[in-house]
Amino acid sequence: MTAVPEPVLLAVDLVILTLREGRLNVLLIERQEDPYGGSWALPGGFVGHDEDIADAAHRVLAEEADLGSQAVHLEQVQVFAAPGRDPRGRVVSVTSMALGADLPDPRRGSEVADARWWPVADHAGIRLAFDHEHMLEVAVEQARTQLEHSALALSFLPEKFTISQLRGVYESVWGTMLDPGNFHRKVTRTTDFVIELDEHAAPTGGRPARLYRAGDGSALFPPLLRSE
């Protein structure tokens, strides 16, 4: 009863997330060729010879999203392998998420009709190609959960940041407002999450905020629960 090994094509599809004007955005491309020509989709590509998943993801970042030189945090989300998910044949996709600070507007890549950032909240109306809507949903939910238990939020910020900026990450990704005072206390008391610097950011209409950098911890204790 052993299954005959059937060769499949292996792809990576990327949920590239960044914050723009205080809102969580995802990078989508407009497909030029069929299947789904003219539809919006996640950037993706096939995994090439001698490439690991991360290698292929970085290549797709450069080729389709023009983000080759940007620092991004890359993380596997889930494999989508349902037979029939791609009309061209058996294509199995490893969905990964790529998070970065203030990522720039993409230039049009090769094989791509258009590429732009879309606010994730607005996205409800847009239909995506293949099973990419499901991928986006799973990836965003994974990001929301990881914010509670890991230092993932720092991937959305530059090397030096203020507590307000960090709070902005949580508010944007979770879609909720948090109490500034309580958030400040929680974050600075969580062990190894952020490290205080002897610098301050330029004031933005009030008292200048102290700058922090990432601490050593990747798991947060106590966690920052999404309940306030």
Residues lying near DNA in the complex (CB under 7 A): 162-164, 179-182, 184-186, 188-189, 200, 203-210, 222-225, 227-228
Nearest distance, CB of residue 97 and its own copies, angstroms: 14
Find the binding residues for its own copies in span 146-185 (CB under 8 A).
Answer: 149
Q: Is residue 94 involved in binding its own copies (CB under 8 A)?
A: yes
C-alpha 193: how far from its chain's center?
20
Asked if residues 135 and 77 have their Cβ atoms less than 8 Å apart, the reply is yes
Q: Is 108 exposed, middle or buried (0-12, 13-18, 19+ CB in 10 A)?
A: middle
Q: Return the number of the residue (132 or 186) whose C-beta is nearest DNA.
A: 186
The beta-carbon contacts of 192-196 under 8 Å, at least 24 apart in sequence, are 192/216, 192/217, 193/151, 193/217, 193/220, 194/154, 194/163, 194/166
Using alpha carbons, select from 188, 172, 197 the residue that is nearest to residue 224: 188
121 binds, among DNA, its own copies, none (CB under 5 to 8 A by kind): none
- Out of 33, 111, 114, 159, name the contact with its own copies by CB under 8 A: 111
What are the angstrom distances between the C-alpha of 70 and each of 43, 59, 78, 104?
Answer: 16, 12, 23, 9
Asked if residues 20 and 116 have their Cβ atoms less than 8 Å apart, the reply is no
73 binds, among DNA, its own copies, none (CB under 5 to 8 A by kind): none
- Out of 16, 26, 56, 136, name the contact with its own copies by CB under 8 A: 56
Q: Return the number of the residue (10 or 99) whose C-beta is nearest its own copies.
A: 10
Asked if residues 63 and 74 have their Cβ atoms less than 8 Å apart, the reply is no
Residue-wise DSSP of 110-156: TTEEEEEEEETTGGGG--BSTTHHHHHHHHHHHHHHHHHHBGGGGGG
125 binds, among its own copies, DNA, none (CB under 5 to 8 A by kind): none
Size of the site for its own copies (CB under 8 A): 40
- Tokens of residue 166, six digits: 């960090």
- Out of 20, 30, 70, 78, name the contact with its own copies by CB under 8 A: 78
Q: Which stretch binds its own copies (CB under 8 A): 112-120, 127-135, 190-198, 215-223?
A: 215-223
Nearest distance, CB of residue 43 and its own copies, angstroms: 12
Footprint of its own copies (CB under 8 A): 1-10, 45-53, 56, 59, 63, 76, 78-79, 81-83, 90, 92, 94, 110-111, 145, 149, 221-223, 225, 227
